A and B are shown apart, each in its own frame.
Chain A
Amino acid sequence: MMKSSEVREQYICINCGYLYDPSQGDGMNSIPPGISFEELPRAWVCPLCYASRDDFDPLD
């Protein structure tokens, strides 16, 4: 049950406001839909401003 809510959690880039939505994935970084933020590779960066994962906040 925890898992499914985690997967749905959206993360926002504090630098540019880009929203990572697990249900959409991230085509710019070849991330398919269904990948939670936590499952993104360590080296993943914001597709718009290249901020690192540390610069992401849970949306709400």
Chain B
Amino acid sequence: MKPSVSSLYQAVELQQEIPPLLIGERANSNGSKKFRELLLADDFEACLKIAQEQESKGAHIIDLCTAYAGRDELADLTRLVKMCVSSLKAPIMIDSTTPECIEACLRLYPGRCVINSINLEDGGHNIRRICQAAKRYGAAVVALTIDEQGMAMTAEDKLRIAKAIYAIAVDEFKLRPSDLLFDCLTFTVGSGDEKLRDAAIQTLEGIRLIKRELPGCLTVLGLSNISFGLAPKARRILNSVFLHQAVEAGLDAAIVDAAKILPLARISQEDREVCLDLLYDRDGEGEGKPLMRFIDYFSDRNVGEEDEAEAVKRTPEEQLFLQVVNGNKDEVGDVLPVLMERFAPLDIINQILVPAMRHVGELFGKGEILLPFVLQSAEVMKRAVSFLEPFMERIEDEHTTRILLATVQGDVHDIGKNLVDIILSNNGYTVYNIGIKVGAETIIEKARELKPDLIGLSGLLVKSAIVMQESMAQYREAGLDIPILLGGAALTPKFVAESCVPNYGGPVVYCSDAFAGLRAVREHEEGTLVSTVFDPAVVGEPLKPGRKERSISRTNPVPEPPFLGQRYVEELDPELLFPLVNTQALFRGRWGYRRAKMGAEEYRQLISEQVEPIYQGLIRRSLDEGLIRPKVSYGYFPCYAQEETVMVEVEGSLHPFAFPRQQEQPHLCIADYFKTREEGGDIAGFFIVTIGERMGQETARLYEADRYHDYLMLHGFSVEVTDALAEYWHGVMRSELGIAGADPTAGGSLVSQNYQGSRYGFGYPACPDMEVHKPLFSFLKPEKIGVSLTENMQMVPEQTTSAIVVHHPQAKYFAV
């Protein structure tokens, strides 16, 4: 007699004339949001309806699962089974891992059902109890190839565990081989995870081995995992092709959404080939990896596919994936417990969360989502990992790539490095973030101690680029040869290729942003990472903008300053600054709300509905909480130019300010804008402005609390408010000098330098050298307004800026 199961109404052969046997998966609290919500609402009639509907869609057997944290599984499942006894024609599959529940349902059910499932995870305890019950009540049993070491990944392991289960179920408890349905487990080939590239091959081979080595036994498969992480429409096609392959390999039954299985005949030959390439990891014809080809090939098929009905049918895996992609962290705590009933925490991370972040990175790379949304995704990732960590035996996977991160010597800027940390650590990498102002010696020491696979160095200022260049030889001499990734505003591919690469033995790679860093880490893993090359023939030498006039007027009048010497201004209304905030640079640059691929109208809407409210909220918050406390130390001083040096006279003593001169035409130097002693001398203005230390404390707090998005917002805001303060104070000084000209405060959003003279910040292109902070601090004495200097001449707090104010009408920005 053929192995069959039955309800009160009918018997169903487990080996169908035309395989496979289809087992409906939707009446499952873990697999269907809709079903779960109905269950939580105690709407058992509607739950039953979901079970019934699958029959009409072609399911031969209906899986029933009511396990959910906080519910009484025994009461729920027995109630539903009782209803199915009289109202469901198809036989049922009792889906539970709790022996009590299984036993209670077996007692209730008048036909012959299937138990889903047994395994060897606990070393053989539950399996014995369930096999005993199966024997007593005459049930068939699904057996998963899992043992104490976890889920079997290779065909050999799948067979080995199947044999061990066979020994217990058949030899010990005398079940018939045909009572067993082995589930070889399937893992996604859609995540890009190298370890899973042959997942389909292993599963198919596992089915073949079990059918050959354990004659009479049946096989079953939960199908949809194979395509997890891919687009819905493409999944449906891949699932269907995979099912066909599995049946050819000997599969008897599949747990599926019966409505979503496509007959092979309805799938074009070309579609089939792309799916087969991915499943069998074949190169086939064409470029790139099979997964990339698959995604490209199906990329135009998933637009507008999802409707409401689809949304409620999402599995918990899909829900978590989408929560990461959409940056929705509110429901992570709901879906994780559901997933943890079926997956090990590390598998949730590696098979759902990491692929989701990878997808986010790809969307960012294509310009389809913006940085702030990426950070929200990273927050979801972080929250999920924090939730899972207590349940993980070993948090550090020895296989993960490790990256040492530091902001270089003398540089206090940590936003860039921290963004890299956020992106890398939330893509599953181990990051050692050793902070700011880290000297080369400490980096070498930490590299020896922590043995990272790569080093990432960051630094904002021109000086930091020089530090990186100079330290390369030190790293080489210390015997390091692991790749070094370099990032920072003052770096260019040309500088890295020409000034850093030659001084180090290993690869040195320019990274324009955190995602370039992520790409570099992945390339390292694939063995394809190489040093940055700069080919001027391709890109061309960057232009050096600037006025090309050779002669600078020597006869311009010297304005009359209101006083000579230094003064403090310690009371300044922060509200004066907001009209001067460069909101374009803030929104698009610091915050990353670029227009990118958006239409003009869509972008306007983004700005007015999301970005502008964030900005206004930060203004209100910083006023309410006193986060901005503007303070100024400034002054006017007699001076004269002597070649490249401006000699500044303070209370009878001379302070030399040496400025660099451009190497090429028109050879500008800041000192050129000042008259020489022979020409009668000149007047120089200086200022140091700060918005105080509260902002720095608050941004650090947000970063520590993993509030990445808020961190980026507040940090960018603080930097632009600081710049607005400099702009404001420059305006005050121009008007004190009587050179205010046209409205100096017009249009804070657009930079025009539409006024007489200029301010040159120390550490920026026209004056990269920070050594001049030494004389500046000696006479502006900013310690009184809370500003101090690091050993490398950087100002603390970070939200501080300094400048020399030049009144000469021809003075405009240039770079040396």
Give residues in A with beta carbon < 8 Å to B.
12-19, 26-30, 41-50, 52, 54-55, 57-58, 60
Contact = CB atoms under 8 A, between A and B. Distances in A.
Given A48-B813, A57-B596, A58-B600, A12 B543 contact: no
A17 B590 CA distance: 11
5 contacts: A14-B588, A16-B582, A28-B812, A57-B596, A58-B600
Nearest to A12: B584
**Residue of A17, A41, A43 with most partner-chain B CB within 10 A:** A17
Contacts of A13: 585, 589, 751
A28 B547 contact: yes
A14 B547 CA distance: 22
Contact of B603 (A18, A42, A45, A60): A60
Nearest first, the 5 closest Cβ-Cβ pairs linking A and B are A43-B540, A14-B588, A47-B545, A14-B589, A28-B545
A29 to B, nearest CB: 5
Contacts of A30: 548
Interface of B: 512, 539-543, 545-548, 582, 584-585, 588-589, 594-596, 600, 603-604, 749-751, 753, 765, 812-813, 815
B548 A57 contact: no
A17 B546 contact: no
A45 B543 contact: yes
A37 B585 CA distance: 19
Given A42-B540, A43-B542, A50-B545, A15 B600 contact: no
A60 B308 CA distance: 34
Contact of A60 (B546, B585, B600, B813): B600
A14 to B, nearest CB: 4
A51 to B, nearest CB: 8
B531 to A, nearest CB: 20
A32 B812 CA distance: 20
Contact of B595 (A29, A47, A57): A57
Nearest to A47: B545
Contacts of B604: 60
A50 B546 contact: no
A6 B400 CA distance: 47
Contacts of B547: 27-28
A57 B545 contact: no
B204 to A, nearest CB: 45
Contact of B588 (A28, A41, A49, A57): A57
Contacts of A29: 543, 545
A12 B603 CA distance: 14
Given A30-B548, A60-B600, A17 B582 contact: yes
B589 A50 contact: no
Contacts of A18: 750-751
A12 B588 contact: yes
A45 B546 CA distance: 11
B543 A16 contact: no
B594 A41 contact: no
A34 B736 CA distance: 39
A48 B541 contact: no
Nearest to B600: A60
B545 A26 contact: yes
Contacts of A14: 584-585, 588-589, 594
B546 A28 contact: yes
A47 B765 CA distance: 12
Contacts of B600: 58, 60
Nearest to B595: A57
Contacts of B540: 41-43
Contacts of B603: 60
Contacts of B813: 47-49
Nearest to A15: B589
B545 A15 contact: no
A39 to B, nearest CB: 14
Contact of B539 (A42, A48, A58, A60): A42
A8 B603 CA distance: 19
A26 B542 CA distance: 15
Contacts of B751: 13, 16-19, 48
A17 B539 CA distance: 24
A45 B541 CA distance: 10
A27 to B, nearest CB: 8
B542 A58 contact: no
A58 to B, nearest CB: 6
Contacts of A26: 545
**A13, A29, A50, A55, most chain B CB atoms within 10 A:** A50
Contacts of B546: 28, 47
A48 B758 CA distance: 12
A19 B600 CA distance: 16
Contacts of B594: 14, 57
Contacts of A17: 582, 584-585, 749-751
B761 to A, nearest CB: 11
Kindly name the residue among A13, A15, A26, A55 whose own CB sees the greatest number of chain B CB atoms within 10 A. A15
A30 B603 CA distance: 31
B753 A48 contact: yes
A48 B815 CA distance: 9
Given A45-B545, A58-B600, A50 B815 contact: yes
Q: Which of B541, B585, B812 has the most CB atoms of chain A within a 10 A radius of its CB?
A: B585
Contacts of A47: 545-546, 813
A59 B539 CA distance: 25
